[in-house]
Structure 1
Amino acid sequence: MLDWLVIGGGVHGTYLSLALTLGGRVARDRLRVLDPHVAPLERWNACTENVGMEFLRSSFVHHLDPEPFDLRRFAPSRPRRGERAFLGRYLRPSLSVFRAHSENVIQKHGLASLRVQGEARSIMAIPGGIRVDTTEGALDARRVLLAIGMGDQPAIPDWARSLREEGGCVHHVFEPGFVRAQMAPFRHVVVVGGGISAAQTALALAKRQEGSVTILARHPARVFAFDTDPGWMGPKNLDDFARVADHDVRRHLIRHARHRGSMPDDVASALRRAVHERRLSLRIAGVSAAALIDGNIDISLDDGGAPLVTDTVVLATGFETRRPGGAWLANAVQELGLRCASCGYPIVDRSLRWHPNLFVTGPLAELELGPPARNILGARLAAERLVQVA
C-alpha cells in the first residue's frame, strides 16, 4: 500500500508530488502520481501551445519549485535567443522560460519517475486507506489526493454542439485531441470568446496568414492584470474568506472575485493593434442562431448586423463550472458520503481533507482555499496545508 496516491499529474499534481517528497517527508517509493499522459504537464503544455501563449498571466514567483525566487535565478542561465524572459511590473515569465524551468525542476527532482500512466475509474474505502480502480489495475494508498483540473470539461455552447453533430468544423481550443498547429486550412475562421484565450488564439491564427480571422465576443475587452484581484494573493483577503462559515457565501465571493472573460493589457493591446492593422476582425455580439448551409457555417448574431459565414469555428469559451471528476467521482460522493456544498463542490477541513483518507487540491479545494485555488498559487497554498498531515 502506498502512503500517497495523487490523482492528476498537471501543475497541481506535479508540484504537490515534489512538496510531499521533498526532504523525505514521504519516501519516494511510497508516493505515485496517476495520470493518463506520459509526461508531467503534458496536457498543460498542449493547452498553452494551442492558444499561442507567449507570457504567463501569473508572476515570476509562481512556478513548480518550492523556492519562490528559483525561476528568477534560473532565467539568466538559459540562452535567450533574443526573447524577453519577463514582462511588465509583475515580471510575468515567458512561456518558454517557464517551460524550461519546469523541465529543470522535474528532471532535478526525478518527478517523472513517480508517475503511473492510467485513469481513475472508481474509488472505495478499504481498511486503512483507499482503493483506486484504474484503467491499468487497482492501486491502494493510505491517502489519496485529488488533483483534478477542469481540462476535461470544455464549455461548448448548444449552438456549437448542434453544428458539430451536423458535421460542421467546430473545435474547442482546450478539447483533448485538438492541436492548433495541425488545423486544416481555412478560408475564414471565427474564434468565439471574450477572454485571454480567445484573444491569444485569434492572434496566433492570424499569424498563419492563411485566411481571414474574426474574433466573436459578447463584450469588449475587459482588462485586468490577473484573473483575480492581487488582494487575493495575500493574507488579508484569504483570512477574511476563511472567516466566512457559509459555503454559499464563499461561492459568491469566489464568483465575484474572478475576472472571467478578461485579459491583461499586453494581450488587449496586441488585439487592438491587429484589428487596426486589419490582420483580424472583431465583432461584439452574441449568437442568436447557427446553421450549416452548403458546407459553410452561418452564424446569426443579436446585434442586428450581417451574419458571419465561415468554414471553421474555434471555441475559446472556457470550461464548464460544474465540479470536475465526472461520473466516477460522483459515484464516490454517494458511496463515501462525501460532503458537498449546494454548488456541488467539496466541503473540506483546513487540511483539505474530504474523507479520513481523501484530500483535494485545485478546483476541488476552492471553497477552502478561495479564488486562487485553481492557479499555481493555489498549489502552493495547498502544499502548506498538506505537508502538515504528510
Structure 2
Amino acid sequence: MLDWLVIGGGIHGTHAALVLTVRAGVATDRLRILDPQPTLLARWNQCTGNVQMPFLRSPLVHHLGLGAFDLFEFSRTPEGKPFAAFAPPYDRPGYALFQAHCQHLLAQHRLTELHLQGAALGLRRLGERGWQVETPDGSLEARRIILALGLSDRPAYPDWARLCRAAGAPVRHVFDRDVHTAQLPLWRHAVVFGGGISAAQLALALAARQPGTVTLLMPHPVRIHQFDSDPGWLGPKYMRAFEAETSLERRRQMIREARHRGSMPKDVYHDLRRAAEHGELCLREANVTGATPQGDGRLLLSLMTGDTLETDNLLLATGFEPQRPGGPWLDEAIAAYGLPVAPCGYPVVSKALRWARGLYVMGPLAELELGPTARNIAGARKAADRLAHIVERGQANRPVVGGLPMVGTVGQR
C-alpha cells in the first residue's frame, strides 16, 4: 500500500508530488502519480502548445519549482540561458523557458519514475486503512489520495458548434486531443472563434504563418484584464472576506464574479490591433448561429449580424466546461460515502483540503476553499503548500481545525 497516490499528472499533481517528496520528505517509493497520458504534463503541453503562446500570462514566481525564484535562477544557468526571456509587466516568463524549467524539474527529481499510466475508474474506501482506486489494469491502494483533477478533457463547445459537429461538420476545438495546430495543413481562410487570450494568441500564431488569411471572430467586445482574476485573490486583500463567508452559494458567486472569462492582457490586444492594422489578420465581433458544410471541408458560418463567413479551417478557442471534474466514478464515490458537496456540486473541504479521512483535493476541486485562483499555477502552489504542512506536522490523519464545517461525520474522524 502506498502512502500517497496523486490522481492527475498535470501542473497540480506534478507540483504536489515534487513538494511532498522533496520538501516534505515523503519517500519516492511510497508515492505515485496516476495519469492516463504517456508522460506527465502531457495535456498541459498539448493545450498550451496548441495555443502557441509566446509568454505565459502568469508572473515569474508562478511555476512548478519549490522556491519563488527558482524559475529565475534556472534562467541564469547554462541549461536555462538559451530560453531566458521575460515580458513586462510582472516579468512573465517565455513559454519556452517555462517548459524547459518543467522538464528540468522532472529530470532533476526523477518525477517521471513516479508516473503510473492509467485512468481512475472507481474509488473505494478501505475502512481506516485508506482507499482503493480502480484502473483499467487493476487496483491501487493508498493511505492517502490527492484528487488533482483538471478540466482539460472537457473543451467547451457553444451550442451551435455542438449541433454542427453532431451533424458531421468539421468543427474542432483547439483543446481537442486530436488537434495539433502546429501541424495544420495550408488553408485558404482560417477562422478562430473565441474572445479570450487563447483565441488571440492562436490567431496571431496562425497569421504569422499565413498573413492575411486569418479572422479572429469574437463573440463579445474585447475584455482587457492582465490576469484571469485580480491579484488581490492571491492574498488576504480579497481572500479574508472569502474565508469569512460561510455560505457556499455565496462563495461560488464570489468565484464567478472574480473570474475574467474570455479576457486578455493589454499587450496581447495591442499585438492583435497591430496585426490587423498591417493586414495580417481580420478582427470581427459577432456571434455564430450555425455552420453549413459547403463541401471540400468548407463551412459557411451564419453570424448573428445577418451576414456569413466562409472558412476551410475553423478552430474554437472557447475554454473548458465549468462542470466539476471527475465524472461518473467520482459521482459514485460521493454517493457511496456521503462526501460533502456544495449546491454547485464541488467538494466542501477543510483548510487542509481534506474531503474525508485520507482524501484530499487540489485544482478546481479545491476552489471553494482556495478561491478563484485554485485552478491556476498559483493555486497549485498554494494547495501543495497546505498538503506539505500536513506531512511536516504529522497531521495526515488527524482532524484539522478550520475551514468550512464538514457535513455529517465525514472528515471528522
Q: TM-score normalized by structure 1?
A: 0.96
- Does 2:347 align with 1:357? no
1: CA distance, partners of 2:390 / 2:277 = 55
Distance 1:279 1:215, change over 3 A: same
Alignment check: 8 A CA contact 1:166 1:292 kept: no
Aligned position for 1:101: 101
1: CA distance, partners of 2:290 / 2:105 = 48
Q: Deviations over 1:126-179 (max 9, x none)?
A: 131110001221000001000001100100112212222333221111111211
Cα RMSD of the aligned pairs, angstroms, is 1.5
User: Relative to structure 2, which stretch is displaced further, 268-277 or 210-219?
Assistant: 210-219
Distance 1:187 1:211, change over 3 A: farther
| Structure 2 unpaired stretches of 5+ | 392-413
Aligned position for 1:227: 228
Aligned position for 1:158: 159
Alignment check: 8 A CA contact 2:80 2:97 kept: no
Distance 1:186 1:167, change over 3 A: farther
Report SS of the residue matched to 2:324.
coil
2: CA distance, partners of 1:43 / 1:376 = 15
Alignment check: 8 A CA contact 1:130 1:142 kept: yes
1:25-36 to structure 2, matched below 5 A, reads 25-36=25-36
Deviation at 1:79, TM superposition (A): 6.0
Alignment check: 8 A CA contact 1:228 1:258 kept: yes
Distance 1:294 1:24, change over 3 A: closer
Report SS of the residue matched to 2:284.
strand
Alignment check: 8 A CA contact 1:191 1:314 kept: yes
Distance 1:86 1:210, change over 3 A: closer
Aligned position for 2:170: 169
User: Relative to structure 2, which stretch is displaced further, 292-301 or 310-319?
Assistant: 292-301
Deviation at 1:7, TM superposition (A): 0.2
User: Relative to structure 2, which stretch is displaced further, 233-242 or 26-35?
Assistant: 233-242
Letter in 2 for 1:310: T
1: CA distance, partners of 2:39 / 2:295 = 42
Aligned position for 1:324: 325
Letter in 2 for 1:220: P
Letter in 2 for 1:277: H
1:138-287 to structure 2, matched below 5 A, reads 138-209=139-210, 212-287=213-288
Alignment check: 8 A CA contact 2:212 2:279 kept: no
Alignment check: 8 A CA contact 1:339 1:346 kept: yes
Deviation at 1:80, TM superposition (A): 4.9
2: CA distance, partners of 1:113 / 1:238 = 37
User: Relative to structure 2, which stretch is displaced further, 138-147 or 179-188?
Assistant: 179-188
- Does 2:314 align with 1:313? yes
1: CA distance, partners of 2:337 / 2:157 = 31
Deviation at 1:53, TM superposition (A): 0.7
User: Relative to structure 2, which stretch is displaced further, 133-142 or 34-43?
Assistant: 34-43
User: Relative to structure 2, which stretch is displaced further, 155-164 or 67-76?
Assistant: 155-164
2: CA distance, partners of 1:5 / 1:312 = 41
2: CA distance, partners of 1:366 / 1:318 = 18
Deviation at 1:354, TM superposition (A): 1.1
Q: Deviations over 1:235-292 (max 9, x none)?
A: 2212221111101101111111111101112211111111111111111011123222
Alignment check: 8 A CA contact 2:85 2:93 kept: yes
Alignment check: 8 A CA contact 1:224 1:262 kept: yes
- Does 2:308 align with 1:302? no
1: CA distance, partners of 2:23 / 2:250 = 38
User: Relative to structure 2, which stretch is displaced further, 14-23 or 284-293?
Assistant: 284-293
Aligned position for 2:338: 337
- Does 2:59 align with 1:59? yes
2: CA distance, partners of 1:181 / 1:237 = 40
Q: Deviations over 1:309-359 (max 9, x none)?
A: 112210000011110111111111111211111111111111111111211
Q: Deviations over 1:67-106 (max 9, x none)?
A: 001111111224655x761110300000111111111111
- Does 2:376 align with 1:372? no
1: CA distance, partners of 2:172 / 2:136 = 27
1: CA distance, partners of 2:269 / 2:310 = 25
Report SS of the residue matched to 2:121.
strand
| Structure 1 unpaired stretches of 5+ | none
Alignment check: 8 A CA contact 1:195 1:262 kept: yes
Alignment check: 8 A CA contact 1:189 1:211 kept: no
Q: Deviations over 1:16-47 (max 9, x none)?
A: 00111124531111100001122221111111
Q: TM-score normalized by structure 2?
A: 0.91
2: CA distance, partners of 1:229 / 1:11 = 21
In the alignment of these two chains, the number of paired residues is: 388
Alignment check: 8 A CA contact 2:353 2:362 kept: yes
Letter in 2 for 1:302: M
| Identity between Structure 1 and Structure 2 (%) | 52
Aligned position for 1:293: 294
2: CA distance, partners of 1:204 / 1:46 = 15
Letter in 1 for 2:210: Q
Distance 1:333 1:79, change over 3 A: closer
